[in-house]
């Protein structure tokens, strides 16, 4: 493989660095996806609780929240605009390009990107941003949890109906 794809050789996990079972892979994938479900549903407490034992880093602003899910939830409340009687952001995060790799015993790292779509009153359905996520995880017993999330918005469109202010 290295001869045919020398620049992509680093994408293939080094089996000496740990092995992830299918159950491990799907548990980590679920953590990544459930975060998006919570954010789109404006359940910021549930989204924040995923980071009770993790650092959350917003690269655009340099903001770093250290193992404080309540602070993550409060930050989300302070910058995400909610609409209608249900008070929802009216967004959908669609994630892709997910890679999950072992990172030692009971540890893993992942990368993914998400395109965020929004349709608010008087605001037609459109992509409003693309974000990239670099995550680290640890396994305690049978359960995986985040230990770090670094988020970077790399492409943005019209955020006028999504943000109250920058994070």
What would the pLDDT profile of 57-103 be if each residue is shown by its tens digit?
999 888 999 999 999 999 999 999 999 999 999 999 999 999 999 99
Which domains are assigned to the chain? 19-156 (3.10.450.50)
What would the pLDDT profile of 115-124 be if each residue is shown by its tens digit?
999 999 999 9
State residue 11's pLDDT score.
47
Q: Whole-angstrom distance between the N-terminal and C-terminal Cα of the chain?
A: 42
The model's pTM is 0.87
With beta carbons less than 8 A apart as the criterion, state whether 113 and 133 touch. Answer: yes
Burial class (CB in 10 A: 0-12, 13-18, 19+), 87: exposed
With beta carbons less than 8 A apart as the criterion, state whether 54 and 146 touch. Answer: yes
Q: Which two tokens stand for residue 80?
A: 């995400």
Identify the DSSP state of 101.
E
């Amino acid at each position: 493989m290295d001869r045919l794809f020398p620049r992509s050789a680093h994408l293939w996990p080094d089996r000496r660095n740990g092995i992830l079972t299918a159950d491990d892979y799907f548990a980590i994938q679920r953590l990544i996806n459930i975060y998006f479900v919570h954010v789109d549903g404006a359940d910021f407490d549930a989204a924040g609780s995923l980071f009770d034992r993790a650092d959350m880093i917003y690269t655009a602003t340099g903001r770093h929240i250290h193992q404080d899910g309540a602070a993550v939830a409060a930050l989300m409340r302070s910058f995400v605009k909610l609409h209608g009687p249900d008070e929802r952001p009216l967004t959908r995060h669609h994630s892709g390009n997910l890679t999950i790799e072992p990172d030692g015993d009971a540890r893993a790292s992942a990368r993914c990107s998400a395109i965020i779509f929004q349709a608010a009153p008087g605001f037609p359905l459109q992509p409003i941003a693309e974000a990239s996520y670099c995550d680290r995880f640890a396994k305690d017993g049978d359960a995986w949890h985040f230990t770090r999330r670094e988020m970077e918005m790399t492409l943005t469109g019209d955020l006028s109906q999504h943000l109250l202010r920058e994070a």
